[in-house]
Structure 1
Amino acid sequence: MQKTILYIVILVSMLSSCKKFLEETPRTTQNSVDFFQNENDFKLAVNGTYAALRDIYGSNTAWVMGEMRSDNTHYDYKPSDAALAVTQKNDVANFLNDEFSGQTSDKWVKAYVVISRANAILDQVDGATFSPDSKRIIAGQAKFLRSLAYFELVRYYGGVPVYLHLINNPNDIYIKRSTVEQVYEVIIADAKDAIEKLDAPAFPQTGVATKGAALTLLADVYINLKRFPEAEPLLKQVTQQGYDLMSNYADVFNPVNKNNKESIFEIQYNAGLATPQASNFIYKFIPRMSNSTGITGLNQNTITDLGGFNTPTQDLINSFETGDNRLNASIAIAEGTWNSSNDFVPASNTAGASVKSIVGYTPPAGKIGRPFPRKFLHTHSLAGQTNNNWPVYRYAEVLLLLAEALNEQNKGAEALPLLNRIRDRAFGAGVSPIATTDQAALRSIILHERRVELAFENKRWIDLVRTGNMVSVMTAYGVATKALFSYLPANSYKVTDDSKLFPIPYTERELNKLLEQNKGY
C-alpha cells in the first residue's frame, strides 16, 4: 500500500506541475512551462510519454488483469510464499481482489502518468515556434497516446475522472468520475484528431504512432461500443495502409523483426542501449527456479525474481485445433520436476535444453511438463534483460476485427475471406477453412480465433467482457479449476456481472473523496 501511495503522490505532483503556486519558482526545480523551449524538448516529452506505456502494457498489472483474470492463464501455487505481491496477483486470478490491491491499482496510476505527460505537450505545442508540420505530428502522437490511456482505463474501471489539461490549481485534481459515455467521447475525439494529424506508416517502421495505429484504435473503440457500421470503414482503410501478415506466425514476435509489416503498434523495449530499456516478460512467465539456464539460456533466479505467473491453462491449450501451428509457436513446455519447496528444477541446466515442444508432448518417467508462453522466449545476452517488444495492435487483429464488424452486420460472406486468411497462415492455405455464414456460429468462431491468435497479448479478458461471455465462461472455468486445484478457497470464482470492472483504488478514493466505488467492492 505504501508503494501505491507513493505512486499517487508522484502522480499528483505531475498533474500539478503546469504552473507555479508560489510567486517565484524555486531555482532548484523546473516546471513543464520552463522545460518546453524548442522542438527537441517536445520530442523528448513525446518519447517520455511512449516510455510510460511500458507500465500499462508490459508490466505485471497488464497480464495479471488481461490474461490471468481470464481462462487463458493461471499461476504456480507456492503455499510457503504469502508475500503481498504474490497473493495479490493470485487474488486477481481467483476473483478475490479488492480495492487495496496494488496489482489492480497500478494500471490506474500509470495510465494517468501517460495522460499527464500528453496533456503537458498538448497544452503548449500550439504556441511553440517551430515547424507547423512537426507540431502536427507531435500533437497527433500525444492525442493518440492520451486516447489509448483513457481507453485502457474505461474498459477496466468504467467511468473515470477526465483531465484534458495540466492542473493549474491543486484543488482541480479532485473531481468526480465522468460517465462511461463521457470518457468514450474524449477517446473518440482524440483518436479522430490523431487520425487527421498522423502520417501513414512508412516501412520499415520505427515504432511511433501512425495513422494506421489511430484508425485501428478508433475502430477498436467502436467495436467495444458495438458500433459496427462505424468500425467497418476504418478497418478497411487500415487494410490499404501497406500492412500485411508475416508468412510465419512465430516470426511476428521475434525481436529481430521488431515493428514488422504486421505490427500496427507495439511498446518499444531495447536491451542494447548503454542504459538498458529491456523487457523481462519471459522471466515472469517461466516457473520459479534457482537457475533458469535450461529455459532461457541464461542464469536467473526466478524464485526471488517472482516467476511462476501467466501459466497457460489446459483450457487454452485444448482450444487449439489439431494442426494449428500457433500452438507450438505460442506455448512451450519446461521439462523438470517440482522440489519440496514447490520450486521447479529443470531437467537440464544446459542452455535451453529443458524447453520442449508442446505438440504431442508426453513427460518421461519421473518428469513433468509445465507450459509457458513461448511467444516471449528469444535469444538475449543478459539474464533478465530481453529485447522483446509488447504487441498492442497487429494486422492479424485488424482482419479479425473487420470480420467481426462484418458478421455483426449480417455480412458473413464478406467476413469469411478475412477469417480464413488468418487460418491459412496457421494451418496452411486451404487446409482448414471456415465455411459457415450463420451469424451466431461465426460470432463464436471469431471469438475463438481471437483467443488462439492473440493468446498472451492481454486481449482475452476484455474480449470476454465486451462480448457478454464473461460470467458464463468464467463461472464454468472456475468450477473446473476449483475441482482441479484443492488450494483454491471456497469463495474463489464468485463471478457476477459486477466482476467485469475492477475496483477504484483505495488510495485514490482516500485522496479524492468525490470518487465513488464500483459495485461489488
Structure 2
Amino acid sequence: MRKIFCLIIVIISLTAISCKKFLNETDPNSINLNNYFKTQSDFDLAVNGAYNQLRGLYNNKSAWTMGEMRSDNTHYDYKSSDQAVATTNRCAVADFLDDKYNNQTPAKWNAGFNAISAVNTILDHIDDIKLTDASRNAIIGQSKFIRALSYFDLVRFYGGLPIYKHAPLTREETYIPRSSVQEVYDLIIADATDAAAKLDAPTFPQTGRATKGAALTLLGDVYLTLKKYDLAENALKQVTAMGYTLFPNYGDAFALVNKNGRESVFEIQFNTALSVPQANTDASVYNFLPRMANTTVVTGINYNNITTVGGYNTPTQDLISAYESGDLRLDASIGIAEGTFNATDDFTATAVKSAVNYTAPAGKTGRPFPKKFLHAHTIGNQTNDDWPVYRYSEVLLLLAESLILQGKGGEALTYLNQVRTRAFGDATHNITTTDQATLQTIILKERRVELAFENKRWLDLVRTGNAVAVMTAFGIKQKAMYSYLQPGSYNVTENRLLFPIPNAEILLNDKLTPNPGY
C-alpha cells in the first residue's frame, strides 16, 4: 500500500500547486482518475490491467514456493555455492524456517493487494459514464470476481486482512487494521455471488475472461473451505450444467491448442505473440528444471538457467509414489531429466525419460521435473503456457468432496469417478466404497495427483486439518535423506499454517498486527 499512498500524495500535491498557479486552467494532456474513465474502452483496459495483476498472485515464485514447495509435493536442488539471500529465503519456506524478514513471501501479498487496488479503482468510477446494462454487468462482474479471488488467496495464506472496498485516498483510509477472517470471507462471498449473478455462462472457445462458471466455482470452493457443504454443492452443481467437460487425455488439458477450452474454468493468460514491451510469458518450467548450462535436451532451446532461475519445485519421491499403478497422469505430469550433476551441483542432461517405473542407470542421475507445463516454444525462459486456476476436473472433485462430507458418498462417486476414468483410461480403477472416512482420504489423494504443481497441495493440507501431521512425518523423511537440512527445519506447528505478514507492511502501518509465532 506504500506505493498507492505515495502516488496519492504526489497527485494531491501537484493538484494543489496547479490550483494556486493557474486557478481555473486545466492541462488537457494530464490524465488522472477524475478524467480517465470516459469510454467503455477505458474500463475494458482497466479490467485488463486488473487481470494482469493476477499473474503475480498465482504464477510467480512466491505462488509455487508457498503453494507447492511448502508441501510434500516438491522440494529444491541444494547448491552449496549458491547461498544468495533470495535462494536461502525460498528454501527456508520449504523447510519451515521462514520468518517475518523473508523476502520471498511478500510478493504474494503485494500482488494480491495490487489486484484489489486495481479493481477498487474501477468500481469507484463505474458510474462516471453511462454504460449499457450488459457492459456494466460485465465490468462489475469481472472486477468483483478478481477481488474475491484475490482475497480468497490471501486470507488462506495470511489470515485476517485489511479490507478495502474502495481505493484509499488518504493516509487514514490506507493504513487500517486487519479485519477478522470471517469478515474477509463475508466480502469474498458477497463479491463472488454478485459476480455469478452478473456474468454470463461460458461459451466455447472462451476468451480467458471470468464467467458465471468461474464465479460459481470460486463460490463453491469458498463454501467448502468454510464447511458449508450444502451451499458448495448447490454452487458446483450449477457449473456441471454449463457445458464444461474433461478432455479425453489428461495432458490435453495443458496443451497450447486447448487454452481456454472446455476443461478450463479460469486460467491466467499468457501470450508470447504480443510484441515487446506488451509481451507476457510464462517461464515456470525453467524454474522447475535442474540448473543446467544448456537446457536443449529437455526444452529444445539452449538456455543457461544455472545462475538465473533453475533448481526449484522439484517433484518429491513421496509425490511420485502417490500415483497408483496405471495412472496415466504420472507420465503426463512428471518427466525425468537423466544425466549427471557435477562437483558444483549443476546438471548436464543427456536424455528425458518417463517417470513411470524409472530407475537411473549406472553412472546417471534421474532428476524429476514438472512436465505438464512444458510445450514447444522458441525463446529460452519464455513459454506460451497459461496457468490454470480452476479446471473442470477440480469442479468435479470439489463437488464430490462436498457430497462426501454430507454423507452422500454414493452420489459423490459419480463425480469422483469421472476424474479417475479419464486418469486410467477406463473404469477399472473406479472407486466403489461409500464409507465417508475412506472417501475423505481418497479425495485428498486424488486432488494431490490430479492438481499436482497447480499450487493447491499446501492449501488442501491446511484446509483438511492434515498439514501438521503430514508435514511433520514428511520432514522426518527429508532430514534422513538430506544432510544439508538444518536440525530446526520441519518444526511444523499450528503457527506455521499461516505465513508472516510482510515486515515492511507492519513497519509502514502500525495498525497491522503480526501473525502468532512471527
TM-score by length of 2: 0.96
Counterparts of 1:404-419 in structure 2, within 5 Å, are 404-419=401-416
Deviation, 1:361, is 1.7
Match of 2:2 in 1: 9
1:463 to 442, 450, 460: 460
In the alignment, the residues of structure 1 paired with residue 430 and residue 438 of structure 2 have an alpha-carbon distance, to the nearest angstrom, of 14
**Alignment map for 1:436-455 (pairs within 5 Å):** 436-455=433-452
Q: Is the 8 A contact 1:70 1:460 kept in 2?
A: yes
Please name the residue that 2:215 is paired with: 214
Counterparts in 2 of 1:464-479, with a 5 A limit?
A: 464-479=461-476
For 1:133 and 1:69, locate their aligned partners in 2 and report how far apart those are by CA, in whole Å. 43
Q: Percent identity?
A: 55
- Aligned equivalent of 1:370, options 364, 367, 370: 367
2:476, 2:14 → 1: CA distance? 56
In the alignment of these two chains, the number of paired residues is 508
Contact 2:8/2:170 (<8 A) preserved: no
Q: Return closer, same or farther for 1:13/1:38 CA change in 2, 3 Å cut-off.
A: farther
Report the secondary structure of 1:376's partner residue: coil
Q: Which amino acid aligns with 1:434?
A: I
Query: Which string of whole-angstrom CA distances, capped at 9 and with x for unpartnered residues, describes residues 409-453 of structure 1?
Result: 000000011111100001122120111111000000000000000
Q: Deviations over 1:145-192 (max 9, x none)?
A: 001011111000000000110112123211100000100010000001
Of 343, 351, 354 in structure 2, the residue corresponding to residue 340 of structure 1 is: 343
Three-state SS of the structure 2 residue aligned to 1:345 is strand
- 1:133 and 1:16, CA in 2 relative to 1: closer, same or farther beyond 3 A? farther
| Partner-residue secondary structure (3-state), 2:504 | helix
Partner of 1:110: 111
d(CA) in 2 for partners of 1:205 and 1:15? Answer: 37
Alignment partner for residue 511 of structure 2, among 510, 514, 518? 514
Residues of 1 paired with 2:18 and 2:213: CA distance?
42
- Note the C-alpha offset of 1:10: 2.5
Give the distance between the partners of 1:129 and 1:49, measured in 2 at CA: 21
Whole-angstrom CA distance in 1 between matches of 2:18 and 2:291: 50
Per the alignment, in what secondary structure is the counterpart of residue 442 of structure 1? Answer: helix
Mapping 1:300-339, distance limit 5 Å: 300-339=303-342
Listed one character per residue, the Cα deviations across residues 259-316 of structure 1 (whole Å, up to 9, x for unaligned) are 0100000000001111221110100000001111111100111112120000000000
In structure 1, give the amino acid aligned to 2:306.
I
Aligned pair in 2 of structure 1 residues 429, 111: CA closer, same or farther (>3 Å)?
Answer: same
How far apart are 1:230 and its partner, in Å?
0.7
Q: 1:227 to 1:20 in 2, by over 3 A?
A: farther
SS in 1 for 2:266: strand
Deviation for aligned residue 1:83: 0.7
Worse-matched range after superposition: 360-369 or 261-270:
360-369
CA distance in 2, matches of 1:95, 1:229: 35
Q: Which amino acid aligns with 2:212?
A: K
Which residue among 11, 16, 23 is the counterpart of 1:23? 16
2-structure distance, mates of 1:203, 1:58: 24
CA contact (8 A) 1:213 1:393 kept: yes
- 1:14/1:399 Cα in 2 relative to 1: closer, same or farther (>3 Å)? farther
Check conservation: 2:2, 2:508, Cα contact below 8 A.
no
CA contact (8 A) 1:99 1:505 kept: yes
Residue 11 of structure 1 deviates from its aligned partner by 4.1
> Using the alignment, how far apart are the partners of 2:61 and 2:483 within structure 1?
25
Residue of structure 1 aligned with 2:495, choices 475, 484, 498: 498
TM-score normalized by structure 1?
0.95
Say whether 1:433 aligns with 2:430.
yes
Specify the SS of the correspondent of 2:200. Answer: coil
SS at match of 1:32: coil
How far off its partner does 1:132 sit? 2.3
How far, CA to CA, are the matches of 1:257 and 1:475 in structure 2? Answer: 39
Q: Residue 291 of structure 2 contacts residue 305 of structure 2 at CA under 8 Å; is this kept in 1?
A: yes
- Counterpart Cα distance in 1 of 2:254 and 2:463: 26
Partners in 2 of 1:17 and 1:480 — Cα distance?
54
Residues 1:79 and 1:438: Cα distance change in structure 2 (over 3 Å): same
Give distance in 1, aligned partners of 2:67 and 2:10: 32
The answer to whether the 8 A contact 1:147-1:186 is kept is: yes
1:204 aligns with 2:205: yes
SS in 1 for 2:369: strand
| 2: CA distance, partners of 1:19 / 1:401 | 48
Report the Cα distance in structure 2 between the residues aligned to 1:234 and 1:517, rounded to whole angstroms: 34
Aligned partner of 2:24 in structure 1 is none
Q: What amino acid is aligned across from residue 42 of structure 2 in structure 1?
A: D
* Conserved 8 A contact 1:66-1:462: yes
Task: Please give the alpha-carbon distance, in whole angstroms, between the structure 2 residues aligned to 1:20 and 1:143.
Answer: 31
The 3 A distance-change label for structure 1 pair 20 and 429 is farther
Query: d(CA) in 1 for partners of 2:386 and 2:83?
Result: 31
- 1:295 and 2:298 are equivalent in the alignment: yes
Q: Does the C-alpha gap of structure 1 residues 216 and 248 become closer, same or farther in structure 2, counting only changes over 3 Å?
A: same
Q: Distance in 2 between matches of 1:159 and 1:17?
A: 30
**2:85 paired with 1:84:** yes
Distance (Å, rounded) in 1 between the aligned partners of 2:428 and 2:156: 37
State how far apart, in whole Å, the 1-side matches of 2:435 and 2:290 are. Answer: 42
Q: How does 1:350-369 map to 2 (within 5 A)?
A: 354-369=351-366
Q: Secondary structure at the match of 1:479?
A: helix
One-letter code aligned to 1:143: K
| Distance in 2, Cα, partners of 1:211 & 1:102 | 36
1:389 to 386, 390, 396: 386
Given candidates 282, 286, 291, the residue that maps to 1:283 is 286
DSSP-derived class of the 1:371 partner: strand
Q: Per-residue CA shift, 1:217-266, capped at 9, x if unaligned?
A: 01100011111011101100000111000111001011121001000000
Cα 1:93–1:14, aligned 2, differ >3 Å: closer, same or farther? Answer: farther
- Match of 2:55? 54
Q: What CA distance in whole angstroms lies between the structure 1 residues aligned with 2:162 and 2:487?
A: 36
The Cα shift of 1:23 comes to 2.7
Tell me, yes or no, if the aligned pair for 1:119 and 1:166 is still in contact at 8 Å: yes
Matched, 1:489 2:482: no
- The secondary structure found in structure 1 opposite 2:16 is coil
**Structure-1 separation of matches of 2:8 and 2:470:** 40
Aligned-partner Cα distance in 2 for 1:16–1:516: 25
* Structure 2 CA distance for aligned equivalents of residues 314 and 213 of structure 1: 33
Counterpart amino acid of residue 163 in structure 2:
V
1:160-239 alignment to 2 at 5 Å? 160-239=161-240
Offset of residue 37 of structure 1:
1.4
Q: Displacement, 1:33? A: 2.5
| 1:24 CA drift (Å) | 5.4
For 2:231, the aligned partner's letter is: E
1:304 and 1:198 map into 2 onto residues whose CA distance is 45
Partner amino acid for 2:404? N
**CA contact 2:252–2:258 (8 Å) conserved in 1:** yes
